[in-house]
Structure formats: C-alpha cells, structure tokens
Amino acid sequence: MKRTNTFAVRPLTDDDEQVLRGLLDASAALWNEINFQRLMRYNDEDGFEGDVWDANTGILEGKYKAVLGASTAQTVRRANTEAWRSFFGSKKAYHDESNTSVAEHPEPPGFRGNKDDGRLLKGVVRKDAYTVEWGDRSRLEMVVGEQLRDRHNSPKSRLRLEIVGEPSWPDYEDQGRLELWYDETDSTFRASQPVTVSSGSRDTPLADEKAALDIGANNLVACTTTTGEQFLYEGRKLFDRFRETTREIARLQAKLEDGRYSSKRIRRLYRNRTRRRDHAQEALCRDLLERLYDEGVDTVYIGGLTDILETHWSVETNAKTHNFWAFKQFTERLTCTAEEYGISVEVRSEAWTSQECPQCSSTDRTTRHQDTLTCPCGFEGHADLTASETFLRRHAEQAQAVRPMARPMRFKWDDHTWSGIPHPHERPNEQRTDPSTVYGDGNVASGES
C-alpha cells in the first residue's frame, strides 16, 4: 500500500538553514525555468517551436547542478514532466463525456513565485539521495550541490536536519521521492515522504454490507448503509470560513498593483484555507470509515461530482461544492484511507437522487427547500439522507435487503475532530437526530446541501 509520512524538519544551525533555503530556492527557480519553456511551447508563442517535450531541459539542469546536485536537478525536471503529463491526462478526461472525474477545464502547471514577489521555497530529492533515521533523535540527511557543501557542518557533504514529531508509517518497505517546502503560515520547514507499507493490520470487514455517500454543500457527507445506519456530517461552519477566506483573498488581489498576481499574505491565506479543509476532510474520512468498518461494510459508493454540479439548483452552491470539495483529491483520500480497512470505493452516477421521491420515484414533482425534500404523494424527509438512501438502493446488489433506517447520527466539526471523548451514551459532538427533524420539518442543518 502507498502511504505518506509528513513531518516538520529543523535545521541544526543558522548555516544549515541558509543551505536549506538555498536548495529550495534553486529548486523552485529550476522548476520555473523548465515550466516557462514548456508553457511557451504549449501556447505556441513566437520563438518557441515544437511541443512541450522539445524544451531543452538538459541545459537548465546543468545550470543548477552545482547548487542542487545532479540527482536533485534531474528530479526537479522529472517532477515537472509528471505535472505536465497529469495535466494532459486531466484535459483528456475533461473532454471525455463518459468520464466524470474532471468537472472543470484543467490549467497547465503553475509557477512557484518569483524572486521579486517571493518565491515559494519548494523542492524534491530523489529517493536514493536522502536517508531518514527514526528514533529518539530522528533525522534526515540529503545530498546538496558542491556550491553549498562548504556552508554547513554535516558529514559526508550531506545536509543533516532534525525531524520533529513521530512518523505515521515508520516500518515501510520502500521510500519514494522526498518533497520539501517552507510553510510560511507557521514558519516551519516540512517534508513529505511517500512510502510503501505492507497490507493493513486490520482484518477485512466481517460482512459484505454496502454504503453510499451523498456529497453536499452545507452537509458535507450524508451516508446510508445496508445495515440501516445513517450518518450526517454537517459543514456549514467549514463552508462559511472557506468563503470568508476566499472573499478576503479576492479583496487583497483587487488591491495589487498592475502586473502582480499574488503576495505573501495572499499565499498565506490560500495555504490556511487549504490546510483547514484538508484537516477536516482527513478526519471525516477516518471517522466515517471506522464506523463503516464496524458495520461490516466492504464497498462504498460515492457520486461523481459532475452529477452534483448538474443537478444542484444554486450557482453559489455549485461553486461552494466544487471549490471546497476538490472532489478528485477527496476521493483519493477516501480511497487511500479505505484501503487500511479493506474497504473498496467505487465512483457511480448519482444523477437525480437528490430530487427523487423514495415513495413514488417522481423527480419532477418534488420540491427541495434547504434540507427538506417534499413530494405531493405525501413524502417529507431530509434531502441529503434521502438522496444517499436512494443512491444506495440504486447501486447495491442487495438493494431490496436494505434494512429499515435507524435514527440518523449527526456530527459537527470543532476544528479538531468530528467526535469527542466517548460518553456512556453519546459522544459530545455526536447526536442522534430526532426523527421528526429528519422526516419532518427538516431542521437538522439549515441551508442548502
């Protein structure tokens, strides 16, 4: 299984910090130069002939080899190549009507700032050009170019950094390319180490139950299982903070001088917004999958984002859903975490499940107001929970065997966790939703879903 150790690193001396900054700055500069050559060819600019792969990256590698080292310069070029290949793959998927994984036209790889406005300090190190030792004094050692070797005191011309914190996956079988960057938000150097680990220690689920997820705008996830359990993860607070930060970014961008597109404060806001979202999503995946594992679920169905954007009634809701969710990233996170529990994740169409009445199957007579779905046939219920149940019955093989629904469980986010310290009956942030609010007046969580 592929996993990632993410940790902070700390230079041992001021000289070591300057060496690390020089390494990351040169990596970002090399990325920018390679990316510029390829972008100009992609845009068919005058003076740049051929396609993106015709750029003479060898000359650029040689320009930075003395600072980065030959292996690291080569790895930066390969990372940029992978980014361009991923872009072309996403572009192809976007134009494929049968593929719902890409909802917006993808953009070519971007630049990592510039020298005047501030460069994003970010770099990569080849898998065989660094070593990590875990223990009481965990440390990271990596190769640097000859121009930087005399500016630090690490042995064997390798820069040595102290690792802060414990790894999530210390017992790995193989390591991948290391990524390093400077986090301006908390003035910390961070590293990301992809690793390969053996199969998860957990047994596979004890049953073959299924679950379906409905993704919403203010209720992040509504889940229904074939065992009759329903879970609702509210997201209004997260969405409001995401929207406030987005508005502040737009306000600051409007004040920039002509020719400038960003600033240190804007980049910090972007990073804070992303980190808050990713933290909440990671915690949501972990909390939900733990519960599904206990229910014996072995397969989770998740709707394609394209269906959500096509069927939602509000332009604002669509923008919030797409921008906040980063659907492909969330699906990858869910899939990665599910592997640990022996649970598979399948993307299926959920078109019109949010409008379909579970009693008469009508989609054109139903009315959706905030969290409530009503139908002239007499049905009234929570729109998102109803959608997840309809989605489940549509795709689960044993759909007819879906057990009667229990009282749904509702979760709120407190910036740290979706559920607090266990309580004899309920967790502090875990509430059994009153059935009258789920299939009655729809006051479980206000706002569109």
Which residues sit opposite 174 in a β-bridge? 196
In this predicted structure, the answer to whether residue 111 has a pLDDT above a threshold of 50 is: yes
- 165, 196, 227 — which closes off a domain? 196
pLDDT value of position 177? 94
Strands 174-175 and 188-196: antiparallel
pLDDT value of position 340? 78
In this predicted structure, the answer to whether residue 388 has a pLDDT above a threshold of 70 is: yes
- Tracing tokens 């068919």 back to the chain, one arrives at 44
- Nearest 5°: the CA angle 410, 413, 414 is 135
Residue 444 lies in a domain: no
pLDDT value of position 156? 63
- 153, 172, 196 — which closes off a domain? 196
pLDDT value of position 394? 83
Q: Is the dihedral of CA 422, 423, 424, 425 positive or negative?
A: negative
- 154 and 216, same domain (yes or no): no
Mean pLDDT across 324-338: 79
Give percent of the chain with pLDDT exceeding 70.
81
* Residue 46, C-beta contacts closer than 8 angstroms, at least 6 positions apart: none
- Tracing tokens 């961070």 back to the chain, one arrives at 190
Q: Which residues of 367-394 are buried (b: 16+ CB within 10 A; e: fewer)?
A: ebeebbbbbeeebbbbbbbbbbbbbbbb
Which range of 157-161, 289-293, 376-380 scores highest in mean pLDDT? It is 289-293
- 169, 196, 223 — which closes off a domain? 196
Mean pLDDT across 12-36: 93
DSSP 54: G
Local confidence band at 364 (pLDDT 50, 70, 90 cut-offs): confident
- 169 and 221, same domain (yes or no): no
DSSP 53: G
- 192 and 228, same domain (yes or no): no
Encode pLDDT of 218-248 as tens digits: 788 999 999 999 999 988 888 888 889 989 9
The answer to whether 151 and 204 are in contact (CB under 8 A) is no
Token pair of 429 as six digits:
């942030």
The answer to whether 132 and 146 are in contact (CB under 8 A) is no
Encode pLDDT of 278-302 as tens digits: 888 888 998 999 899 999 999 999 9
Encode pLDDT of 176-211 as tens digits: 999 999 987 678 999 999 888 876 545 667 678 999
The answer to whether 405 and 230 are in contact (CB under 8 A) is yes
- 285 and 389, same domain (yes or no): yes
In this predicted structure, the answer to whether residue 41 has a pLDDT above a threshold of 90 is: yes
In this predicted structure, the answer to whether residue 437 has a pLDDT above a threshold of 60 is: no
- 394 and 302, same domain (yes or no): yes
Strands 139-143 and 372-374: unpaired
Local confidence band at 2 (pLDDT 50, 70, 90 cut-offs): confident
Local confidence band at 310 (pLDDT 50, 70, 90 cut-offs): very low
pLDDT value of position 242? 86
pLDDT value of position 441? 37
Could you tell me the residue range of the domain that residue 369 belongs to? 209-438
In this predicted structure, the answer to whether residue 75 has a pLDDT above a threshold of 60 is: yes
* Phi and psi angles of residue 160, each rounded to the nearest 5 degrees, phi first: -105, 130
Please choose, from the candidates 107, 98, 110, the residue with its C-alpha nearest in 3D space to the C-alpha of residue 32. Answer: 110
More confident residue, 175 or 323: 175
Residue 201 lies in a domain: no
- 88 and 230, same domain (yes or no): no
- 113 and 151, same domain (yes or no): yes
Distance set, CA 96 to CA 103, 105, 107, 108, 174 (Å): 11, 12, 16, 18, 36
- Into how many domains does the chain fold? 2
Mean residue pLDDT of the chain comes to: 81
Gap between the Cα atoms of 444 and 414, Å rounded: 17
- 215 and 139, same domain (yes or no): no
Gap between the Cα atoms of 148 and 68, Å rounded: 8
pLDDT value of position 122? 92
pLDDT value of position 331? 83
Please choose, from the candidates 279, 278, 300, the residue with its C-alpha nearest in 3D space to the C-alpha of residue 289. Answer: 300
- 187 and 217, same domain (yes or no): no
Residue 449 lies in a domain: no
